[in-house]
Chain A
Amino acid sequence: MTSKEQHTVTSSLSAGPRDGSERTLETAAISTQPAPPAGENGGSLPASLLTPPAPPPPPHLDDYRNIIGQGQVDALRFLARELKGKTIKMVNSTAVGGGVAEMLNRLVPLISELEVPAHWEVITGGNDFFEVTKAFHNALHGTTYELTKAAQEIFLMYNEQNRERLEFNEDMVVIHDPQPLALVRSRDKSSSNWVWRCHIDLSNPDAHVWEFLRPFVEQYDAAIFSSQSFARQLPIPQYLFYPCIDPLSEKNKELEESQIQKVCDELGIDRSRPIVTQVSRFDRLKDPVGVVQAFKLARKYVDCQLVLAGGGAKDDPEGAVVLQEVKEAAGNDPDITILDLPPWCALEINAIQRASTLVVQKSIREGFGLTVTEALWKGKPTIAGAVGGIPNQIIHKLTGVLVHSVEGCAFQIRYLLTHPEFARSIGASGREHVKENFLISTNVRRWLLLFRILQEAQAKR
């Protein structure tokens, strides 16, 4: 089987997200430079990028030893020793697509490998259920929503159906996000510890939806949030688990120099001059036009080129509009390369980030900002907007630099390109910050710690 055939087969086996919006093959690389050498597509993406590659096998715990050190791997084993024989169930609402499923795909095997068997169940529901939970999701993010009796009944009915279908014999049950929240009604039947892992921002929820959901949340033993600011006043302990990246994933693994060069050649990126990069969807909240403006201001003083690598413009009408705005802002500037990449181009994004001299994430609003985590992990000096979870990652002038304006961003591009020692130093500290706090191995540690703490608290009761 050729590699092309492998790609094709994988594509047919890989399910997309629930709405099927993620897969599109009509993707083009857009550059204000002369068209890069891109084979038969002539200016489009190379053919090898047009279909998703086969997913690599998940890594084992020992594969992380060279990254986090033997001491940390040993600590995970010691932590798990007290939990040996205990079982865990994770429940969410989708098996594929989205960050939670992606994270569970890696987390569940790693915890199981530590002899704490972990199982993952996905709830089922009709379109009416997912329409209601999508509306709840948006309302919890702050969108105004009229909570009807019918919506409440749909939510409760599907939770009840799933409660009857699923068994909860494990020692610890973790419910992810609001969709399966009411499964906690099953907790009376068992002595399990129940934990709610909330991946969304609850800092400004619609009051009606939150008051409807709150009584369920209060029945859990603990809740977990991704940021201090997302937490609510609750009578149960609330823990902070930062989102994390997997250093062995396609997007973050170490690459050979030849692989980086190959991707740059395919995408027409010139590595002979400093490269400033922003990787993000074409979304106004990521301020790609502001990045173009900052780049143009900085380039008056220093020689450099800009790469804007993103996606979503083909799936999202607003994304296409933003992409057009970016192209207009870029004009015919030969030093600006705009890449609209399909979602499976993780390895290419990895290579682009590694080829970059600086990485920018000039967001105006942000969740956690995992693209910042990815850049820091690659040791790249990173300039980012001081919004959302970014200040948790970038300690100004220590692990990166924070900016609040186009002008500030332009100045920091100039400064870092002309002070390579300082740039190297913050890049190195940024990588260590990720190693300590934002890798999947750290989250395995957090889960084990939480389970031990809850078990000990239960034993004392």
Chain B
Amino acid sequence: MPIADKPQPRQPDKPFHFNTSEHLLRIGRQKATTIHELLEALRACPDDSIFQHTFRTLQEHHFIGQGFSNDFAHWSLSACHEPVLAEKLASVDVHEFTAIDGLRCRMTEIVDEFLQKHPRSGSRPANEPFYFCASDIVVLPTLFVANSLFEFLEGLNSVGVHSIHHHFIEARLRLHRMSNDFSQWLEEEIGLPQTADAIERIDIYTNTMEGVRQQIARMVERVLKAGQRES
């Protein structure tokens, strides 16, 4: 039986509206030419700069499956040749933060600790400056609205990867909770807490955004094939 005809777990009260967000890169005022200056700028820059160089850069580089984490880590390695600092910064997972404040604190802590251990590295000039940027964001609808789990799967497979990023990665800053729009809807509207949890655990640093989409789609397909609710 085609999965579209299988009994579905539950009809949602609220549809899932697939949206997407488009970003325009704005050049900021801060610039760092040393790791000391990076630390100062990390403390002083606006929230949207921290967002740009962590959350947003993942969208710009969504096609890289591994090896790219955030712009601060990338600059520490490529321009400052500080692999230890780069590794520590790269280990920061945006998934663990529901507000920019926490993310900024974690980044500054790492750089601060590094400079305490390696004070001479702080004033060594980088090969090229780090320019702080930010994004102006416009949220847009897409053509896809899901009134059932099957339609959710169709929408998921059809929207652009920016929409996946919007719902899966940026969402936690909107929701202020350790979740994403997909998991929240699947749990609250379809009654799939285990699938919601499994989706939340997908590793965005070892997947492309297309890979994230495919993993979510496979999980939803399994539920549709089984046609069962989760306890």
Contact = CB atoms under 8 A, between A and B. Distances in A.
Nearest to A73: B160
A391 to B, nearest CB: 7
B118 to A, nearest CB: 23
Interface of B: 20, 22-27, 29, 60-64, 67-68, 74, 78, 127-129, 131, 133, 136, 138, 140-143, 158-163
Contact of B63 (A74, A228, A433): A433
Nearest to B142: A74
Given A436-B63, A445-B22, A449-B23, 14 more contacts: A71-B20, A72-B160, A75-B140, A75-B142, A79-B22, A79-B138, A231-B27, A233-B29, A238-B27, A429-B63, A429-B64, A433-B63, A436-B60, A449-B22
A391 B160 contact: no
Interface in A384-414: 386, 391, 395-399
B26 A237 contact: yes
A239 B27 contact: yes
Given A395-B61, A395-B68, A397-B67, A78 B27 contact: no
Interface in A43-67: none
A229 interface: yes
Given A239-B24, A449-B24, A433 B133 contact: no
Nearest to B77: A396
A72 B163 CA distance: 10
7 closest cross-chain pairs (CB), A and B: A71-B160, A432-B63, A228-B131, A240-B25, A449-B24, A238-B27, A78-B140
B136 A449 contact: yes
Interface string A233-255: 10001111000000000000000
Contacts of A437: 60
B27 A398 contact: no
B128 to A, nearest CB: 7
Contacts of A295: none
A229 B129 contact: yes
Contacts of A452: 138
Given A75-B160, A229-B131, A396 B78 contact: yes
Given A72-B160, A395-B68, A452-B138, A433 B129 contact: no
A225 interface: yes
A34 interface: no
Interface in A195-242: 225, 228-229, 231, 233, 237-240
Given A71-B158, A240-B133, A225 B27 contact: yes
B140 A240 contact: no
Contacts, number: 84
B81 to A, nearest CB: 12
Interface string A422-461: 0000000100110111000000011001101100000000
Contacts of A317: none
A229 B131 CA distance: 7
B74 A395 contact: yes
A126 interface: no
Given A395-B68, A436-B62, A453 B27 contact: no
Interface residues of A, number: 36
27 contacts: A69-B160, A70-B158, A71-B163, A72-B160, A75-B142, A75-B160, A78-B140, A78-B142, A79-B22, A229-B129, A231-B131, A238-B26, A238-B27, A239-B24, A239-B25, A239-B26, A239-B27, A240-B25, A386-B127, A391-B128, A397-B67, A398-B64, A398-B67, A398-B68, A433-B63, A436-B61, A453-B24
A10 B162 CA distance: 42
Contacts of A391: 78, 128
A118 B128 CA distance: 38
Contact of B141 (A78, A229, A449): A78
A242 to B, nearest CB: 9
A71 B133 contact: no
Contacts of A72: 160, 162
Contacts of B25: 239-240
Nearest to B63: A432
Given A233-B29, A240-B25, A453 B160 contact: no
A450 B23 CA distance: 10
